[in-house]
Amino acid sequence: MQHATERSQSVRPIRKRPTRQLPFPLNLYQTAVGKKWVMAITGIALLGYIFAHMIGNLKLYYGPADMNAYGDWLRHLGYPILQNSQALWLMRTGLLAAFVLHIHAAYSLTMMNRAARPTGYQSQRDYITADFAGRTMRWTGVIVLLFVIWHIMDLTLGTPGVSGEFIEHDPYNNVVTSFERPLVAGFYVIANLALGLHIWHGTWSLFQSLGWNNPRLNGVRRHFATVFTVVVIGGNLSFPIMVQAGVISQENRTTPYGQDYDTPTDDLGGDAALGSPVVVTQEADR
């Protein structure tokens, strides 16, 4: 009798069996393996975005004409088949879906792990296999989430009190006036260091989640994760640092081609609306 009670306590199922079978692929997502796949695939999409975003932001070094023309190009992507910003909204929707699924999969995997080990570890965990980046994934993930919320309010929405001197469709001005504030520049540096730890471990472990973990490939995986992280985070860190150093500044509002640059607006029509920067010829050139 006593045995029966002990057994019923020790072999409690981790999760209740679902009363009805969910259709594919939702039934796969019920399992730990399915959640790991979702984390890995959405992780690849998010890594692709932050890589492309960093490359696009390198236009800051070319000056406002190039940076703002790039923003304009993004808004008119797919024209004339797609209208103003439709492609951009499609990409934003995909990005948001990937972000939400990534967080949901991470959260529910954590809940599954907790349910599987309700009393916690009795001894020190084996931290040889779980390095610092791996152990801090939840914390770096939370910092990145808070950063992205701040970042969108700062540079996309132009929220008063969060942004610098925000001007719609003038990302060059918005980045510079935002990063000129030392506290904000410091926050971008810290958030990107946290992002670095997160993507370094993420890039390494997504191969594991997808089952591509042949020991012979481990060296390549680690190198790829390191190079990718250094390139993306190196680029991202350079922006607030270079604004603080005065290398990227409002002085650069005169482009390398000797033309003053004015903010493009969509209501100008013609070439201006399609992405060509509005160029005001200097006195001397007239």
The residues binding ligand HEM (CB under 6 A) are 50, 53, 57, 71, 88, 92, 144, 148, 151-152, 155-156, 171, 174-175, 188, 192, 195, 236, 239-240
In the bound state with ligand HEM, the residue whose beta carbon lies nearer, of 22 and 105, is 105
Q: Is the dihedral of CA 37, 105, 108, 232 positive or negative?
A: positive
Cβ-based neighbours of 157, under 8 Å, separated by 6 or more:
163
Q: How far is the CB of 95 from ligand HEM (least distance, A)?
A: 6
Q: How far is the CB of 49 from ligand HEM (least distance, A)?
A: 7
In the bound state with ligand HEM, the residue whose beta carbon lies nearer, of 83 and 214, is 83
Q: How far is the CB of 245 from ligand HEM (least distance, A)?
A: 14
- Please answer whether residues 163 and 174 qualify as being in contact, where contact means their C-beta atoms are separated by less than 8 angstroms: yes
- Give, rounded to a whole angstrom, the gap between the first and last alpha carbons of the chain: 100
In the bound state with ligand HEM, the residue whose beta carbon lies nearer, of 244 and 255, is 244
Q: How far is the CB of 56 from ligand HEM (least distance, A)?
A: 8
Q: How far is the CB of 14 from ligand HEM (least distance, A)?
A: 33
In the bound state with ligand HEM, the residue whose beta carbon lies nearer, of 78 and 211, is 78
Q: How far is the CB of 10 from ligand HEM (least distance, A)?
A: 43
In the bound state with ligand HEM, the residue whose beta carbon lies nearer, of 188 and 207, is 188
In the bound state with ligand HEM, the residue whose beta carbon lies nearer, of 25 and 94, is 94
Q: How far is the CB of 266 from ligand HEM (least distance, A)?
A: 13
In the bound state with ligand HEM, the residue whose beta carbon lies nearer, of 35 and 75, is 75
DSSP character at residue 155:
I
